[in-house]
Structure 1
């Protein structure tokens, strides 16, 4: 039996009968959409001094915007996160506080790991002659996905309250969160927006991302069935179309350089409309996805991705930089890697680079996955050093911003 076949068999025999394979499949799909989105919709350009800067193909190719609708799957990620949290919360062996500390530690360890490693890399790269502009871009790209971890930690801490809301209001428990984002959007984009503070949009961060998580909690509590799922799909699609066509919302689900408004940072009502539609579709397809993943060969990759979830999230931008930075120093402008993303040739070249990015991520993950496991072999001195290094890298990234 080959090594791959043996691994598939071991994963299959080790999977409990009660495991919800569809939820794991949805989580893996949403997770893989993060690096796919960043690698496809994010580019790099070289300045005359050899420094790398962020760029986006959406600046030149506006008709590719629907790709961002497909790859923006954080709504699904929060949905299945809420669903899985309910199941875990019910089975918690101890106190709610102990359960929460365990889940937050699982989120925090990989973040500390990647930040600590980059704190060591920055002075090394600088000594090797990497331009400051490249270091600035690298720090931005590495920190960029980590905001998600902080938000996810906060909504996870709210799980007990989400459970109470779901038991009281069912699927409608998410409606006030949608309403809160709608009110803030009206204030910051409506006829009375002049003179209002620019930080007003930050008020949508918590309700905006808690919306799909609350839907997942209500789903996990058995309070959203097929009828509710159809309502989410139809209502979310209708609201998305109305906002896009009649209310002046930018079409892209990711930030585009030069655009005055962005949908995702902080989340706008358009993001919630998309999350509602995606959530409805995910709930409706739950049974079919579960049936597809009964095959061991399809199930094994899902397990591997889920076991490396935080590693993929924290290190995928590093994988791209591991290809781009050496090329920028040695070869200069290379299509699809360090040239402006403003031609169809760039798109074809970037697609050709994706297997290399994936291979580098797999290589990095082989070593970085250790950050996801409990740090039982590290004493308090090493843990403190990692925390200080991570704080130092955070300060460096903020100073460059």
Structure 2
């Protein structure tokens, strides 16, 4: 009862402090897209254990291809870029200073948590290996998983830097400003998967990274500029769904929206045309449901968690893999295999056990977040030397995680 009263008071306080003009629907959609990231990684990522006790990445999608539609729901990065573009254009419009100052502030907010998590892991690696005897292969696996979600931050910084140009395109072309980006990805996909694919260089897919993720961001900017209405939203929803179905049925795109170990093709790294089709359909649905979602979030009990999630956005993004690893590494090192955590993800029992592990991962993330959330705040008390040390540690961790050392 005491806990319920405390939660009720917190919800009432958040409600009282929320400005009347706050766009609750945008914050709510952002929170859903954000929670989809750890949910997807925790559900669709597993570990096998080798004879020396090291853990290696595995996925239930290798054994259960029928689970691929789950990834269609959980792959919501297109939505994240959509609301990011919408929020960025509003922020850019309100900003009184220079574009450089606006961009610098947004980059700093993104960069501090990334620097924090990579510096902490750089310090942990020697402790885990030399102090606790954790196998080096386990540390390679862990480092890869920690870095995996951080690519998003780098791409997001680049598309954010393009906001002034996106605004100009939106004002001139409206919703159609995103069409050339879709076309660009389609051309690259045709070259790398079409009749002459064998003659194409392996690096060609990299050309999809920027237009692939800028597509939804540009839609968000056009939306924020008032150039995307319900008619456009219906077009995005129906057109995106039709293109998605066509690519799966007639053009042989992989059904999974995330990478599956052993598969030759992947949709998300870098994004394929299937990712943009899904982003278009999701964006159309989000725009159409905006008003209904906003009314729903007028309820303090629903609005309070949305605020908490958004305030901890970068902490969730940067540390959710660490939460899963905090359970898996000790188990593999000292207890061996444990269904749903460490062991081949190739049975229904594993799926049910993994669902039971989800609250444990969430609890560990909340615990870690109590300390890690400080990285999101301005480092006013952090001197130049400490920042330099953190930068060196982060760079060293990145080199190790990317397999360069």
TM range (shorter): over 0.9
1:142/1:318 contact within 8 Å kept? yes
Q: Does 1:123 align with 2:144?
A: no
Alignment-derived partner of residue 218 in structure 1: 222
> What is the aligned counterpart of 1:257 among 256, 261, 273?
261
- Compute the displacement of 1:400 (Å): 6.0
Q: In structure 1, how many angstroms separate the alpha carbons of the residues matched to 2:96 and 2:358?
A: 43
Match of residue 39 from structure 2: 36
1:51 equivalent in alignment to 2:54: yes
Question: Using the alignment, how far apart are the partners of 1:194 and 1:57 within structure 2?
Answer: 30
Pairing 1:363–2:375 present: no
Task: Say if 2:15 is the partner of 1:18.
Answer: no
| Cα RMSD after superposing both structures | 0.9
Aligned positions, number: 401
TM-score (norm 2): 0.98
Of 53, 69, 73, the residue aligned with 2:76 is 73
Pairing 1:133-144 to 2, within 5 Å after superposition: 133-144=137-148
Pair 1:298-2:302 in alignment:
yes
Corresponding position of 1:167: 171
Q: 1:317 aligns with which of 311, 314, 321?
A: 321
Q: Where does residue 379 of structure 1 map in the other structure?
A: 383
Provide the C-alpha distance between the structure 2 equivalents of 1:194 and 1:153, rounded to a whole number of angstroms: 33
**SS at 1:194's partner residue?**
helix
Q: Give the C-alpha shift of residue 6 in structure 1.
A: 1.8
In 1, Cα distance between the equivalents of 2:91 and 2:13? Answer: 24
Q: Distance in 1 between matches of 2:333 and 2:398?
A: 25
Give 3-state SS (helix, strand or coil) of 1:399's partner. Answer: coil
Indicate if the aligned counterparts of 1:136 and 1:400 stay in contact, CA closer than 8 A: no
Correspondence for 1:6: 9
**Cα gap change, 1:400/1:45 in structure 2, threshold over 3 Å: closer, same or farther?**
farther
Moved more, 149-158 or 190-199: 190-199
CA deviation profile, 1:145-203 (whole Å, cap 9, x unmatched): 00000000000000000000000000000000000000000000000111210000000
CA distance in 1 between counterparts of 2:8 and 2:72 reads: 36
Residue of 113, 122, 125 corresponding to 1:110: 113
C-alpha distance in 1, partners of 2:314/2:16?
25
For 2:231, the equivalent position in structure 1 comes to: 227
| Residue-by-residue CA offset, 1:29-82 (whole Å, 9 max, x unaligned) | 000000000000010010011000000000000001000000000000000000
State the TM-score, normalizing by the size of structure 1. Answer: 0.99
Matched, 1:397 2:401: yes
| CA deviation profile, 1:110-139 (whole Å, cap 9, x unmatched) | 000000000000000001100011001000
Alpha-carbon shift at residue 398 of structure 1 (Å): 2.1
CA-CA distance at 1:5 after TM superposition: 1.8
Tell me how far apart the structure 2 counterparts of residues 350 and 198 of structure 1 sit (CA, whole Å): 36
**What's the counterpart of residue 350 of structure 2?**
346
Q: Which has the larger displacement, 7-16 or 202-211?
A: 7-16
Distance 1:329 1:193 in 2: 44
**Unpaired segments ≥5 residues, structure 2:** none
Distance 1:165 1:190 in 2: 31
| Rounded Cα–Cα distance in structure 2 between residues aligned with 1:161 and 1:368 | 34
Structure 2 partner of 1:285: 289
- Structure-1 separation of matches of 2:71 and 2:229: 28
User: Does the Cα contact within 8 Å between 1:178 and 1:269 map onto a contact in 2?
Assistant: yes
Give the whole-Å Cα distance in 1 for the aligned partners of 2:173 and 2:199.
37
- Is the 1:86–1:217 contact (alpha carbons within 8 Å) kept by the matching residues of 2? yes
CA contact (8 A) 1:8 1:296 kept: yes
Q: Which runs of 5+ in 1 are unaligned?
A: none
Identify which of 271, 276, 279 aligns with 1:272: 276
Give 1:4 deviation, angstroms.
1.5
In the other structure, the counterpart of 1:246 is 250
2:160 to 133, 156, 160: 156
